[in-house]
């Protein structure tokens, strides 16, 4: 559009402008059907005269009005050039934005055309866009910040625009999950008293979220996305229950501790083996509990809403990211073509325990636990067919000489110094006494805690000693090599499994009964059952030092990749529970049997709707669920709080707590941003005026109770 000077001189104090509409734009697109758009402009500027002749539009009036009218037509033409039609509502909002800029109530950085042509999402033949300046700034804030609060009256598009941004983020693969939630305070969150199934009970409170979803996605795809866990819609009460029983063990740098004993600031072990601080501890009350068991026999307990990072074979083949599923989502869906469906993550590095001083070389201890005689009734001895091990043992034990007696038998004698007249205790015997290992036999041996919870180097050295003496590689046709260890001691079996798992491996165990089993070529039967442990260690973890075993292991291609799959999920009663949040980047922590699990939500777009009906405790709980690469949008109207009298709104309080915090933004919308029927905006203004005049909130005196009539 061009503004051209005219030969007609307006009256004194008046200004005149003429506009030419390019021929490619029919006048009806500019003026509207039946001149409806022109009437909107004339109504907004009643003192100005606007005339149309052909494709020429002229305006005469106050210079400020004429200048604004000129800008209105310019903005309209910019919008029309994008192919987007102008509506009466769009013209009204354009005029309001330009007047606000002119009056100084807006900074004027965004023009009406920039607001009205910003596409968020196109779906099912329609495009979702902001309709007001504040809406555009709200949408821009969602792009720029991790946590955004959209606060304003009903009808301002808070939830709808947030939902559009969530679907956009999912479709562009910025996130892999959408979580939509709102408090169900209208039922006091006592949903059990309502008739019907769980979904029938919660449906009325979540229906607005479902309706928005159906506007933006193919309705046929929504059930599939929800079944896959890509979209989750749940009341806030069900968002908080991602918990484990209070007695469940969690790994810390000092060893195992019950999760219920942890406090904020304590350190637990993350998936990278490193300590990570606990950021939050949230008691969850009594809940239904399930036993989650992996195929290697490891297991732990968790509630139905507890989160698990898993992937399927298809995910792996297609190089898709790990997904996060709740316990209850996997029940009844654990097999795919008779194969276990869900793989669990493994430690990416050995657990990093603090280094402890030990009285005996770790490799030497492993050798003695495997093939040593530690009864204390005689001089400590060692049995092996490999002289290499006897030499390694002697080299690792200062003050001791390993003397060959014949066959596989060796004796560990103290090295006597010239002039010794007093019989001194054998150094090995003394250390075994310190470690409480003296007088242990084949069925009662164990790994002392100072070795079990020591540095990765110490733990590996103990394991190598055990495997060099009482273990070995087992080759398999067309498969990688597994490592096998056997012992008569249940304690030592469990300690070997713990060593393997702490290094990032997996260990399977089975029992070989002693009854009827002959001891080698001898006629005597075994006195104790044998426990066989099959082991797979990650690449880079060397299981053997003994050359012949090490060479055989590597010749067979090594141990392959340790893997864990969920084998079963079974009910395990009801227990008092708690959940924790940790600072690890992937939010994972090590729980019982070195299983990895977590409670926060990564790679998710999370929307909390009707947030004015959250308590301060609920708001804190929700905000601390934030995982890495996730985004949270919280929407609400602080003038429509439905909480019981005396309960403070979490949305009101959080503004005092988080206002000004980096990467947290508060977008405030008003009646001018209502995009429903025009009457809604006027109703909102009327209520605000009433509350202002009478010192009330929601029509009730502040801090008071609603009177019964």
pLDDT at residue 118 tops 70 = yes
For residue 5, pLDDT over 50 is answered with: no
Mean pLDDT of 236-257: 83
Q: How far apart are CA 628 and CA 169, in angstroms?
A: 15
pLDDT (average), residues 172-197: 64
pLDDT of residue 4: 46
pLDDT at 705: 41
Burial of 467 (0-12, 13-18, 19+ CB in 10 A): buried
Tell me: pLDDT of 186 over 50. Answer: no
67-76: long-range contacts, CB 8 A cutoff, minimum separation 24 = 67/15, 67/17, 68/95, 68/98, 68/99, 68/102, 69/17, 69/41, 69/45, 70/3, 70/17, 70/19, 71/98, 72/41, 72/98, 73/1, 73/19, 73/30, 74/1, 75/111, 75/112, 75/113, 76/30, 76/37
Q: What is the mean pLDDT of residues 449-467?
A: 97
Q: Which pLDDT score is estimated for 696?
A: 63
For a pLDDT cut of 90, what percent of the chain falls above it?
Answer: 40
Lowest mean pLDDT among 58-67, 362-371, 506-515, 597-606: 597-606
Cα gap 76→87, rounded to integer Å: 10
What is the band of 454 on the pLDDT scale with cuts at 50, 70, 90? very high
Out of 344-353, 557-566, 643-652, the most confident range is: 344-353
* Contacting residues for 46 by C-beta, under 8 A, at least 6 apart: none
Q: What is the mean pLDDT of residues 691-700?
A: 62
Using 50, 70 and 90 to split pLDDT, how confident is the model at 400? Answer: very high
In the prediction, which pLDDT does 241 show?
52
For 362-555, the fitting CATH number among 1.10.10.10, 3.40.50.1980, 3.10.28.10, 3.40.640.10 is 3.10.28.10
- Indicate the CATH number for domain 2-117: 3.30.1370.10
* 249 Cα distance to chain centroid: 21
- Domain residue ranges in the chain: 2-117, 133-200+603-701, 243-346+564-598, 362-555
Q: How confident is the model at residue 315 (pLDDT cuts 50, 70, 90)?
A: confident
In this prediction, residue 229 has a pLDDT band, given cuts at 50, 70 and 90, of low
Average pLDDT, stretch 346-371? Answer: 95
Q: Which CATH architecture has domain 133-200+603-701?
A: 3-Layer(aba) Sandwich (3.40)
Confidence of residue 677 (pLDDT cuts 50, 70, 90): low
Q: What pLDDT, on a 0 to 100 scale, did the predictor assign at position 684?
A: 67
Give the mean model confidence (pLDDT) for residues 586-613: 85
Q: Rounded CA gap, 380 and 378, in Å?
A: 6
Residue 435 has pLDDT above 90, yes or no: yes
Look at 273 and 173; give whichever has higher pLDDT: 273
Tell me if 70 sits within 8 A of 3, measured CB to CB.
yes
Kindly state the average pLDDT of the residues 202-223: 77
* Band of residue 187 on the pLDDT scale cut at 50, 70, 90: very low
User: Rounded distance, CA 29 to CA 51, Å?
Assistant: 16
Query: Following DSSP, what letter does each residue of 605-656 receive, concatenated?
Result: EEEE-SGGGS-HHHHHHHHTTB-TT-EEEEEE-TT---SPTTPPPHHHHHHH
The pLDDT value recorded for residue 450 is: 96
Q: Quote the pLDDT of residue 704.
A: 46
Q: Out of 186-195, 439-448, 568-577, 653-662, which region has the weakest mean confidence (pLDDT)?
A: 186-195
What is the arithmetic mean of pLDDT over 134-162? Answer: 90
User: Quick one: average pLDDT of 293-309?
Assistant: 90
Q: What is the pLDDT of residues 50-103, one digit of tens each?
A: 888 888 888 888 888 888 888 888 888 888 887 778 888 888 888 888 887 777
What local confidence, expressed as pLDDT, does residue 270 receive?
92
Does the pLDDT value for residue 494 go beyond 60?
A: yes
What is the residue-averaged pLDDT of the chain? 83
The stretch 480-494 carries a mean pLDDT of 92
pLDDT (mean) for 679-702: 65
In this structure, how many other beta carbons lie within 10 angstroms of the beta carbon of residue 255?
11
Distance CA 376, CA 389 (A): 22
Q: Residue 168 is encoded by which pair of tokens? A: 């956009």
Is the per-residue pLDDT at 195 higher than 70?
Answer: no
Q: How far is CA 269 from CA 328, 556, 627, in A?
A: 25, 33, 17
129 exposed, middle or buried (CB, 10 Å; 0-12, 13-18, 19+)?
buried
pLDDT-derived band at 475, boundaries 50, 70, 90: confident
Indicate if the pLDDT at residue 564 is higher than 60. yes
CATH, domain range 243-346+564-598:
2.170.16.10
| 489 sits in which H/E element | none
Q: What is the pLDDT of residue 522?
A: 43
CB 525 within 8 A of CB 445: no
Buried b (16+ CB within 10 A) or exposed e, 213-230: bebbbeeeebeebbeebb
């Amino acid at each position: 559009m061009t503004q051209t000077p005219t030969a007609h001189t307006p009256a004194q104090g008046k200004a005149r402008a003429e506009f030419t509409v390019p021929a490619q734009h029919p006048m009806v697109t500019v003026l509207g059907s039946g001149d409806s758009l022109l009437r909107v402009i004339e109504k907004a500027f009643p003192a100005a005269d606007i005339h149309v002749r052909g494709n020429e539009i002229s305006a005469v009036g106050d210079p400020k009005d004429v200048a604004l009218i000129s800008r209105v037509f310019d903005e309209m033409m910019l919008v029309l050039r994008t192919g987007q039609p102008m509506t009466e509502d769009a013209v009204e909002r354009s005029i309001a934005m330009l007047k606000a800029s002119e009056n100084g109530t807006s900074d004027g950085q965004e023009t009406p055309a920039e607001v009205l042509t910003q596409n968020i999402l196109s779906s099912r033949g329609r495009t979702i866009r902001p309709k007001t300046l504040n809406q555009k700034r709200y949408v821009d804030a969602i792009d720029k910040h991790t946590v955004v609060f959209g606060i304003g009256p009903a009808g301002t598009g808070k939830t709808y625009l947030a939902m559009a941004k969530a679907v956009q983020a999912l479709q562009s693969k910025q996130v892999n999950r959408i979580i939509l939630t709102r408090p169900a305070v209208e039922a006091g969150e006592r949903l059990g008293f309502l008739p019907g199934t769980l979904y029938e009970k919660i449906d009325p409170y979540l229906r607005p979220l479902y309706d928005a979803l159906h506007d933006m996605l193919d309705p046929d795809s929504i059930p599939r996305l929800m079944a896959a866990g890509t979209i989750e819609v749940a009341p806030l009460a069900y968002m908080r229950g991602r918990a484990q029983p209070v007695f469940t063990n969690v790994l810390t740098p000092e060893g195992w501790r019950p999760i219920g004993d942890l406090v904020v600031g304590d350190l637990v072990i993350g998936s990278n083996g490193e300590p990570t601080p606990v950021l939050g501890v949230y008691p969850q009350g009594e809940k239904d509990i399930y036993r989650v068991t992996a195929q290697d026999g490891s297991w732990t307990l968790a509630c139905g809403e507890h989160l698990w990072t898993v992937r399927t074979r298809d995910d792996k083949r297609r190089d898709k990211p790990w997904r996060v599923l709740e316990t209850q989502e996997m029940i009844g869906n654990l097999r795919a073509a008779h194969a276990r469906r869900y793989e669990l993550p493994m430690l990416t590095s050995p657990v990093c325990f603090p280094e402890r001083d030990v009285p005996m070389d770790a490799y030497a201890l492993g050798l003695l636990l495997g093939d040593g005689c530690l009864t204390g009734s005689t001089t400590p001895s060692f049995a092996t067919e490999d002289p290499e091990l006897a030499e390694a043992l002697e080299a690792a034990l200062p003050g001791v000489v390993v003397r060959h007696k014949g066959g596989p038998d060796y004796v560990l004698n103290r090295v006597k110094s010239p002039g010794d007249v007093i019989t001194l205790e054998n150094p090995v015997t003394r250390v075994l006494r310190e470690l409480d290992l003296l007088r242990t036999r084949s069925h009662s041996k164990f790994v002392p805690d100072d070795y079990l919870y020591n540095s990765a180097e110490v733990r590996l050295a103990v394991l190598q000693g055990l495997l060099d003496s009482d273990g070995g590689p087992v080759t398999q046709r067309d498969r990688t090599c597994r490592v096998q260890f056997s012992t008569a001691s249940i304690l030592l079996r469990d300690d070997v499994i713990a060593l393997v798992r702490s290094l990032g491996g997996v260990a399977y165990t089975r029992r070989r009964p002693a009854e009827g089993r002959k001891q080698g070529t001898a006629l005597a039967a075994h006195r104790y059952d044998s426990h066989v442990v099959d082991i797979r260690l990650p690449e880079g973890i060397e299981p053997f030092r003994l050359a012949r075993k090490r060479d055989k292991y590597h010749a067979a291609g090594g141990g392959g990749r340790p893997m864990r799959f969920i084998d079963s999920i079974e009910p395990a009663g009801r227990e008092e529970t708690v959940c924790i949040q940790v600072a690890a980047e992937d939010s994972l922590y090590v729980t019982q049997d070195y299983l990895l699990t977590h409670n926060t939500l990564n790679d998710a777009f999370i929307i909390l709707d009707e947030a004015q009906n959250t308590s301060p405790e609920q708001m804190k709980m929700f905000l601390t669920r934030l995982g890495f690469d996730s985004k949270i949008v919280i929407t609400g109207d602080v003038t429509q709080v439905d909480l019981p009298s005396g309960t403070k709104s979490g949305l009101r309080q959080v503004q005092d707590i988080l206002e000004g915090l980096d990467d947290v933004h508060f977008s405030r919308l008003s009646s001018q941003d209502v995009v429903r029927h025009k009457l809604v905006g006027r109703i909102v203004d009327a209520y605000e005026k009433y509350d202002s005049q009478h010192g009330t909130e929601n029509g009730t005196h502040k801090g008071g109770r609603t009177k019964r009539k």
